[in-house]
Structure 1
Amino acid sequence: MPRTALPAGAAAAIAVLTVLAGCSGVVRVDPPTPTGVAAAACEKLAGALPRTLDGLDRVASEPASPYVAVWGEGEIALRCGVERPAAMDPTAEVSDVDGVGWFNDPQRPALYTAVNREAYVELTISPEHAPAAIQVDLAGPIKAAVPQ
């Protein structure tokens, strides 16, 4: 049976996520290509991320990358070392969740980016999950691995 990463509306809004069809449960996510300090921080973050998040187990992504983590059938996906959000202007609202600043792109409501770090950390959350709870669970690993 084909598996989907996100509900149709969210999947359309998040072009980076696509799912490989089949029963493998492997989720296709285009990995970013950070360099330097950002790459080192993202590699450290990869080892600090939880195995479960909001009741979902971590699953494999394709292609395999230390800069990508996926939980469930793609319901939650993290990409570390992405570019600065294009929609974030100097007056954009950023929410602080346990010491991590999150920008929520108003044009892509399922997309959040941690922006007050040496590497931008992008988080895609399907509507079935509460973003704040997930951001709280990820705050510790992000703060420990990705310096301000």
Structure 2
Amino acid sequence: MSSDETDDRRHPALVATAIALPVALVVGVIVAAVLATRAPEQGPVALGTVPAPDAESADCASLLGALPGEFDSFTRAALVDPAPAGAAAWQSPDVAEPVVLRCGLERPAEFDQASRLDVIDDVQWFPVSGDAQGIDATTWYAVDRPVYVAVTVPTGTGPTPLQTITAVVSQTLAAGPIDPNPIN
């Protein structure tokens, strides 16, 4: 074998390295992309305070005690202390924002005699889109119960959170007349 023939042949280790490096690079990029798009680890949910004069009422205590620990892909979340009275939240690894329930709120300012209501089962809900505030969610107010209940549902979550909570509201809080604001 002449020295010219040896120079033209590649050593098997060199060939294997030349193939393995680009493959390892591609695998590394794929793994990094998957890790970067994974849902963040879920911890306690921080909720600010809002006026909720009836949050510590017997009606709210009854409702909060009957709420489910989970539904669909959502699991009841711990709230950051100090947690507001009358509040609960659920998180899902598939949705960035939590579903939030607040009980005992004041009547929504937007709720007037001309407001559109959606009836789910036997509960009358008044929806308020978060678009005007730059929030990608809708807050639904139960307006025909002895206390106002609000459920904020992130856009694209689907109907399960509101349907599940509606069933609990229907079972724990008696229906009553609505009391909208007068039309201004």
Q: TM-score range by the shorter chain?
A: 0.7 to 0.9
Asked whether 1:137 is paired with 2:176, we answer: no
Aligned-pair CA distance for 1:146: 1.7
Matches within 5 A, 1:1-148: 25-31=43-49, 32-35=51-54, 39-62=57-80, 63-72=82-91, 74-106=97-129, 108=131, 110-130=138-158, 132-148=159-175
Name whichever structure is richer in helix by fraction. 2
Change (3 A) 1:68 1:74: farther
Assess if the C-alpha contact under 8 Å between 2:129 and 2:138 holds in 1.
no
In structure 2, what residue type is equivalent to 1:71? W
> 1:129: how far off?
0.4
Partner of 2:23: none
Aligned amino acid, residue 84 of structure 1:
R
More strand per residue: 1 or 2?
1
**CA deviation profile, 1:15-62 (whole Å, cap 9, x unmatched):** xxxxxxxx67111113553339x7110000111001113311101112
Structure 1 spans left out of the alignment, 5+ residues: 1-22
Equivalent-residue separation in structure 2 for 1:57 and 1:107 (angstroms): 23
**TM-score, normalized by length of structure 2?**
0.60
The structure having more radius of gyration, on CA atoms, is 2
3-state SS of paired residue (2:110): coil
What is the CA–CA distance in structure 2 between the aligned matches of 1:107 and 1:27, rounded to whole Å? 19
Normalising by structure 1, we get a TM-score of 0.73
Distance 2:124 2:77 in 1: 26
Structure 1 outlier segments of 4+, above 4 Å: 106-109
Say if 1:29 and 1:61, in contact at 8 Å, map to a contact too: yes
Tell me the amino acid that sits aligned with residue 39 of structure 1.
Answer: S
Q: Determine helix, strand or coil for the equivalent of 2:57.
A: helix
Q: What is the aligned-residue identity percentage?
A: 30
Measured after TM superposition, the shift of residue 74 of structure 1 is 4.4
- Whole-angstrom CA distance in 1 between matches of 2:85 and 2:115: 29
- Take 2:110 and 2:166, find their aligned partners in 1: how far apart are those partners? 23
